[in-house]
């Protein structure tokens, strides 16, 4: 299983890529189609904001405006797609956020490029920023791919609750009233708080989701959920979301049809109005209205008191539990660091001892080598002197044999010269005698004729 997981992680860079959109390009470039009428939200600007166009398998998936100061996304824009996959597992980062000149133009696992990018994590969150904490990276919208540029720190329970609430909101309150789901534009975002994870990544105070459908008529709706309350989910108009939580920023072009309300909200409001209207024949009169007025006052007072008590209890619990959590985190971090140092002491001592022993061994080796070098010449000289008699005595027989061989060669050469002289003289005498004889015999025959 571990080998398969490693293979999957190794294949991620080939599947998921992103592109930082420079200031010169209009909006989010090829990812402008995720916004209503191709127009990104207005009112979000700053030197720490970076625009990212995210892709998967070559297809555009969503657009993200990332805050490099808070190390969290400001918002991500999507269009609804039925059965959209959640992308590969494992959290990826965007190399060009930390190094704009990097040739790595695709989302990559941080472990694979830790030695290739200088200052990695200076402008974005990394997986190790979530270690030793109760927070996990949670995607703004659960169908998005697993990139840390689209994730914010959430507790495990809140993460599950937000995924459930957002999914139910889309399927029950949006899709039934939008004829074509592909025309449903979604923008999910987070409002950062003053709390920072490991003094680096901002923990969100609120997460929100806004929708705009332009079929058959443009209308919009939104939800907001505070991270401090699991059960709270505020159904809100986009205009209220913009003014109350986003500082007046505009999410959709032309307010998505002029800010028309969600059909279900309108139907619910109409039903509520009809319920509040007094039916024919109902009891009327000043007394009954006075009783209803008193009941409403008592009810509102009790509700306000209960809300106040609950708010105070919740704040006290959050304060106490928050301080206890930070104390616990500080204590565990200190103990972990202390244990790490204490466990490292024996290793460092053994390493020093090993280095000292190795140093002594090298010194002894150098001394031995020097002694051998000094003694090498006298030993060789003495060896040559000791072996001189042996080589001298052994050479006497060979020299004697060589002398005898030379004498024998001289003697043989002299004998050969003597015998050669005699043989030559005899040959000359024989030739001369035979010539004289032939001449004498020849002349005798002539006289007889």
Residue by residue, pLDDT tens for the chain (449 residues) are: 333 333 333 334 444 567 788 877 888 988 998 999 999 999 998 889 999 988 777 778 889 999 999 999 999 998 887 655 455 557 888 888 887 766 665 556 655 666 667 778 888 999 889 988 899 999 998 765 678 888 999 999 999 999 999 999 998 888 888 876 778 899 999 999 999 998 899 999 999 999 999 877 889 999 999 998 888 999 999 999 999 999 999 999 888 977 777 666 555 544 443 444 444 444 455 677 788 788 988 988 998 898 899 889 988 988 888 888 889 888 888 898 889 888 889 888 998 999 999 989 999 998 988 888 777 766 667 777 777 777 777 778 888 888 888 888 888 888 888 888 888 888 888 888 888 888 777 655 454 44
Give the whole-angstrom CA distance, residue 81 versus residue 79: 6
Question: For the CA atoms of 313, 316, 318, 323, what is the dihedral angle to 10 degrees?
Answer: -160
Residue 407 sits at φ, ψ, to 5 deg, of: -60, -45
Residue 85 lies in a domain: yes
Residue span of the structural domain in which 222 resides: 8-271
219-255: burial string, b at 16+ Cβ within 10 Å, e else: bbbbbbbbbeeeeebeebbbbebbeebbeebbbbbeb
Rounded Cα gap, residues 207 and 306, in angstroms: 26
Q: What are the angstrom distances between the C-alpha of 336 and each of 129, 176, 242, 342?
A: 16, 53, 44, 10
CB atoms within 10 A of CB 70: 20
- Residue 88 maps to which CATH number? 3.40.570.10
CA distances from residue 41 to 27, 36, 139 in whole angstroms, order as listed = 9, 9, 20
Task: Answer whether residue 187 is part of any domain.
Answer: yes
Among 264, 253, 86, 252, which Cα is nearest to 175's? 264
Domains held by the chain: number: 1
DSSP letters of 72-116? EEEEEEEE--TT-----SS-BB-HHHH-TT-S--S-B-TTTSTTT
> What is the C-alpha to C-alpha distance for residues 49 and 97, in angstroms, rounded to an integer?
10
Cα separation, 349 vs 341, in Å, equals 12
Q: Does some domain include residue 192?
A: yes
Determine how many CB atoms are found less than 10 A away from the CB of residue 30.
Answer: 14
Question: Within a domain: residue 315?
Answer: no
Please say whether the beta carbons of 108 and 124 come within 8 A: no
With a CB cutoff of 8 Å and minimum separation 6, the contacts of 193 are: 202, 203, 204, 205, 227
Is 294 within the bounds of a domain?
no
Is residue 120 assigned to a domain? yes
Q: Whole-prediction pTM value?
A: 0.57
Q: In this structure, is residue 102 part of a structural domain? A: yes
375 inside domain: no
Query: How far is CA 338 from each of CA 331, 342, 345, 425, rounded to the nearest angstrom?
Result: 10, 6, 11, 122
Closest by alpha carbon to 202, among 215, 189, 214, 212? Answer: 189
């Amino acid at each position: 299983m571990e080998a398969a997981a490693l293979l999957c992680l190794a294949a991620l860079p080939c599947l998921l890529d992103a592109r930082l959109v420079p200031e010169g390009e209009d909006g989010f470039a090829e990812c402008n189609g995720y916004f209503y009428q191709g127009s990104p939200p207005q009112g979000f600007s700053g030197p720490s904001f970076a625009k990212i166009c995210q892709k998967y398998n070559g297809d555009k998936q969503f657009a993200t405006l990332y805050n490099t100061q808070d190390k969290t996304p400001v918002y991500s824009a999507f269009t609804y797609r039925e059965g959209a996959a959640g992308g590969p597992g494992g959290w990826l980062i965007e190399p060009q956020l930390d190094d704009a000149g990097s040739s790595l133009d695709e989302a990559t696992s941080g472990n694979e490029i830790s030695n290739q990018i200088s200052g990695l994590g200076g402008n974005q969150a990394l997986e190790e920023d979530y270690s030793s904490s109760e927070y996990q990276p949670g995607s703004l919208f659960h169908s998005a791919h697993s990139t840390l540029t689209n994730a914010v720190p959430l507790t495990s329970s809140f993460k599950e609750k937000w995924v459930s609430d957002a999914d139910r909101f889309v399927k029950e309150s949006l899709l039934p009233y939008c004829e074509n789901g592909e025309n449903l534009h979604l923008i999910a975002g987070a409002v950062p708080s003053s709390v920072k994870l490991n003094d680096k990544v901002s923990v969100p105070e609120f997460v929100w989701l806004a929708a705009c459908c332009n079929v058959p008529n443009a209308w919009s709706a939104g939800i907001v959920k505070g991270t401090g309350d699991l059960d709270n989910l505020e159904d809100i108009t986009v205009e209220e979301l913009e003014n109350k939580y986003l500082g007046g920023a505009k999410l959709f072009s032309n307010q998505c049809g002029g800010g028309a309300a969600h059909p279900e909200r309108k139907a619910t409001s109409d039903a509520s109005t009809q319920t509040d209207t007094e039916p024919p024949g109902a009891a009327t009169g000043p007394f009954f209205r006075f009783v209803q007025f008193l009941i409403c006052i008592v009810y509102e007072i009790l509700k306000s008191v209960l809300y106040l008590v609950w708010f105070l209890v919740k704040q006290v619990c959050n304060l106490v539990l928050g301080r206890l959590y930070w104390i616990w985190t500080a204590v565990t971090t200190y103990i972990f660091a202390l244990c790490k140092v204490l466990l490292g002491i024996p290793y460092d001592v053994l390493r020093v001892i090993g280095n000292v022993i190795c140093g002594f061994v090298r010194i002894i080796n150098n001394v031995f080598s020097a002694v051998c070098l000094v003694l090498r010449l006298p030993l060789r000289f003495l060896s040559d002197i000791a072996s001189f008699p042996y080589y001298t005595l052994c050479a006497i027989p060979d020299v004697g044999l060589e002398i005898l061989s030379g004498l024998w060669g001289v003697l043989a050469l002299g004998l050969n010269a003597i015998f050669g002289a005699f043989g030559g003289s005899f040959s000359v005498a024989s030739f001369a005698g035979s010539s004289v004889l032939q001449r004498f015999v020849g002349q005798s025959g002539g006289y007889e004729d």
